[in-house]
Amino acid sequence: KMVRDENGKPRLILGVTQDVTERKQAEESLQMSEERYRGLFNSMIDGFALHEIICDENGKPVDYRFLEVNPAYERLTGIQSANLIGRTVLEVMPKTESYWIEIYGNVALTGRSTFFENYSGELGRYFEVSAYCPRPGQFAVIMVDITERKKAEQDTRQHVTELEVLYESGLALSQLLNPK
């Protein structure tokens, strides 16, 4: 506020100042933290997604909505975030097996984390998944594509079975050729 004399000349200026140093430092610290988080989120090699569970009128999980995904999740699923965010899994992948919704619903509604391996027929891949509840009604997943490992395990089991059959048939043949 300015106080003037009888001729209108300024004589006194009154003002209030406020030290905003702490607020500015807090804002800068928050911005740095967000940039660090975003950098980690975008550079993860594991897929990450945040969802909210959708329940029917009886409280049974029936679907879930995508809230956020990282670039690795897009790469693992082959689906861009623009086609996921805000949409439900059954809108995006209508043939999703019910066990995915059941497992994730349990995490979102109970708060209990879980770790499992499962197959997605919709994506044609096996995934190793760690799911946890960041807040009630939501769940986050960190996932890795383990399809190649699963195929190698299946191939190994098949080879072992074939070797067992060959071994057994070899024993039978040797008993036929060398009866006692």
Q: Quote the longest CA-to-CA distance of the chain.
A: 136
Does this model's pTM top 0.95? My answer is: no
Give 74-130 pLDDT, tens digit per residue.
999 999 999 999 999 999 999 999 999 999 999 999 999 999 999 999 999 999 999
What pLDDT score was predicted for residue 45? 85
Distance of CA 49 to the CA centre of its chain: 3
Give mean pLDDT, residues 137-145: 96
Residue 179 has pLDDT above 90, yes or no: no
| pLDDT score of 155 more than 70 | yes
Residues 177, 175: Cα–Cα separation, whole Å: 5
d(CA 46, CA 41): 10
pLDDT per position as a tens digit, 22-72: 877 777 777 776 776 666 656 678 999 999 999 999 999 999 999 999 999
Predicted pLDDT of residue 147: 87
